Structure 1
Amino acid sequence: MCNLGHTRCVILLCAVLCLICLLSIRRPLLEKDEATSRTVSPRHKKLPLPGSAQELKNRSDKCRRCVVVGNGGILRGLELGSLINRFDVVIRLNSGPLGEYTADVGNRTTIRMSYPEGTPLHWVDSDPDITFVAVVYKGVDVSWTTAMINRISVPLWDWLFFWQKVPDHIPLDSHRFRLLNPGVIRETALDLLQFPPPRSQLWGNQMNVPTIGMSALNLASLLCDEVSLAGFGYNFSVNSARLHYYDKLPMRVMQQQTSHNVKEETAFLQKLIQDGAVTDLTGGIHCSF
């Protein structure tokens, strides 16, 4: 017998009935979710998941040390190869070769990071566990990466949109490919370098695209506990100085490009080095403009 009055009793009974109904509906939904999780496609199960048992197994308590090896001419003759080889993770950029330059740049590669036009036409890395990280800026970059993974031909139409020749084959298994998260590039440009957001314009470049070296530095900070740089910096005080360690392009070529704001990037790197956040193995970042 209810002591709360007829109206309040009716309200209370309705509330109890609603709760019972919700619980009876929720249980089948939970059972359905569990059934769905048990029928995940086998193809998806092959993909490594963040925090998976295998990933945790491969981790260790020791500090992971990264070196990002740029392609600067300052590397030539410094014979840092053995030092570079001792890092836990060696990140190389674009088509930076090894071979005859091993004494200066080492011969280990953990990650080679490149956009299509910068990728080596003739593959130079021999590490069996290498990962190729594709940096994509345009639609055909994704199409090219897909072709490399699946070992198929790049569509003829796509070739028209590359500004220089790109490889038609990369001799790696499909699980050795990754796409760089565009968020890494966005964070590098807008948050770290504080470039203005991109805007539409009819002609010219906005000089707000970070160099691949800067994006690689940001990636390294996500992968490792300590980050060092080698082959970074531009000595614009000597126009005839080598731009790269592997060719004879003069430094003035970099001064003529209109996509990257290397002055702002250098100032940012100098601050990182001054604060002890990263280490400059070759000392080129403090070259003056």
Structure 2
Amino acid sequence: MEGTRSLRARRYPASLQIPEEFPDSSGRQNSMRLPKRWATHRCWLLLGVVVVLLFLAMICLPWIQTETSKPLAWYVTHAHKKQVHEHVHRVLKSQCRPGSARNRLLARLPASSHMTQPFLWKDVPLADDLFLYPPPFGFRSLRGNVEDLLKLLPDSDSSPLPEKTDKCRRCVVMGNGGILKGLELGPLINRFDTIIRLNSGPLGEFSVDVGNRTSIRMSYPEGTPRRWIDTDPDTVFVAVVYKSVDISWISAMMKKLTVPLWDWLFFWQKVPDQIPLEPHRFRLLNPEIIRETALDLLKYPPPRKRLLGNDQNVPTIGMSALNLASVLCDEVSLAGFSYNLSRQGAPLHYYDHLRITAMLKETTHNVDRETELLQKLVREGAVTDLTQGLHCSFCPS
């Protein structure tokens, strides 16, 4: 960004003496100070205009689509597809291990970790720890906003509840990775007890690869589908708060109202103006899920105030969903998780035209750190990788 040069008013050098015989010398000095002050004011005005323009650019530019004009051609061999299907069949047919995923994660967490409440409820008091950090790690300075929102949410004994029962439950967290494309895992995905989908990952024409059941759609405002696509009558929407204005959006969606015009300015991408679900199908994610994922599992530094940029200490929604799944279910599987940049022609998502190399522009999340942790969790047996994008047990070396 090009800077601006301040204008310097003409003036006499300090060493130059103005003859006393000029009776209006003091008037001349005052008149010479005016251009200097006016130049300073113009600089501040110009700087203000530049800041406003940059702010508008930050808001508007992300709304522009960056997809390529032609669909990506991607082919999956019959042999590879068969091996993936056999792998998923083995997972579904094996003996379910109660509490296995959470116990494996707890081994990586500090002894003080006690996060057992994945959602916030109207009838459950808010712990003081929730207000230690700003969003997405907590609700610092937002107690009133959160309490008002909770009045719209259901009680803890409401139905349906995608939480643990006496039955050993298997969860699958559906990432949106292009590795799902062409695998035709839809019917097998539908057989899992709880299916967690992320952001706007679509179904419809893609159901053959990703299934059509949805237990949980987990998203923040900018990631939520603008056209609702989940037809499963048991779907629950889990709202994730990344910034204070997200609370206002969640409230508007539950009340089926329009988001206030001022709030629209703080979304970095267009957000839906409605979610066709009744209030009892909304959940507010406990920010402790994100805090625990970031600070305890990924070992990121605590959040700190910064004027510009970020510390890449915010986990992806997929990583937070994995942690959520470990609380809701006994066994956790992943599908559609893969960030192998060496496959430069591979699609980034199963539903659009972006290439995997688009991840090189990622600045918010530390993808390398997350991939390393996910690979360790798969090798240790804490989670299962259905699509073999993290650790492939049968792929050629």
Tell me which interval the TM-score lies in, with the shorter structure as reference length. 0.7 to 0.9
CA distance in 2, matches of 1:47, 1:213: 25
> Which among 341, 346, 351 is matched to residue 246 of structure 1?
351
Mean alpha-carbon deviation: is it higher for 79-88 or for 235-244? 235-244
SS of residue paired to 1:161? coil
Task: Letter of the 1:128 partner, please give it.
Answer: P
Task: Letter of the 2:297 partner, please give it.
Answer: L
Say yes or no: does 1:268 pair with 2:373: yes
SS of residue paired to 2:265? helix
> Which among 297, 316, 329 is matched to residue 224 of structure 1?
329
Task: Letter of the 1:162 partner, please give it.
Answer: F
Say yes or no: does 1:129 pair with 2:242: no
SS of residue paired to 1:67? strand
CA distance in 1, matches of 2:307, 2:390: 34
Task: Letter of the 1:66 partner, please give it.
Answer: C
Deviation of 1:60 (Å): 4.5
Deviation of 1:286 (Å): 3.2
Task: Letter of the 2:264 partner, please give it.
Answer: W
TM-score (norm 2): 0.58
CA distance in 2, matches of 1:282, 1:207: 27
Deviation of 1:86 (Å): 0.2
Q: Hey, what does 1:68 align to over in structure 2?
A: 173
Q: Hey, what does 2:285 align to over in structure 1?
A: 180
CA contact (8 A) 1:65 1:88 kept: yes
Say yes or no: does 1:205 pair with 2:310: yes
CA distance in 2, matches of 1:123, 1:47: 22
Q: Hey, what does 1:48 align to over in structure 2?
A: 155
CA, structure 1 residues 161+128, in 2 after alignment: closer, same or farther (shift >3 Å)? same
CA distance in 1, matches of 2:227, 2:289: 27
1:30-109 counterparts in 2 under 5 A?
47-49=154-156, 60-109=165-214
Counting matched residue pairs gives 241
The structure with the largest helix share of the pair is 1
Task: Letter of the 1:190 partner, please give it.
Answer: L
Following TM superposition, the consecutive aligned residue runs of length 4 or more in structure 1 with deviations greater than 4 angstroms are: none
1:18-29 counterparts in 2 under 5 A?
none
CA distance in 1, matches of 2:211, 2:283: 23
Could you say what the CA RMSD is over the residues aligned between the two structures, in angstroms?
A: 2.0
Q: Hey, what does 2:296 align to over in structure 1?
A: 191
- 1:83-129: CA deviations, max 9, x gaps? 11000000000000001111100000000000100000000000111
Q: Hey, what does 2:122 align to over in structure 1?
A: none
CA distance in 1, matches of 2:213, 2:230: 8
CA contact (8 A) 1:72 1:233 kept: yes
Deviation of 1:250 (Å): 1.3
CA distance in 2, matches of 1:203, 1:89: 39
CA contact (8 A) 2:385 2:391 kept: no
Task: Letter of the 1:49 partner, please give it.
Answer: S
CA distance in 1, matches of 2:167, 2:241: 33
SS of residue paired to 1:248? coil
Task: Letter of the 1:67 partner, please give it.
Answer: V
CA contact (8 A) 2:236 2:281 kept: yes
Deviation of 1:59 (Å): 6.3
Gaps of 5+ in 2: 1-149, 393-397
CA contact (8 A) 1:233 1:286 kept: no
CA distance in 2, matches of 1:165, 1:108: 26
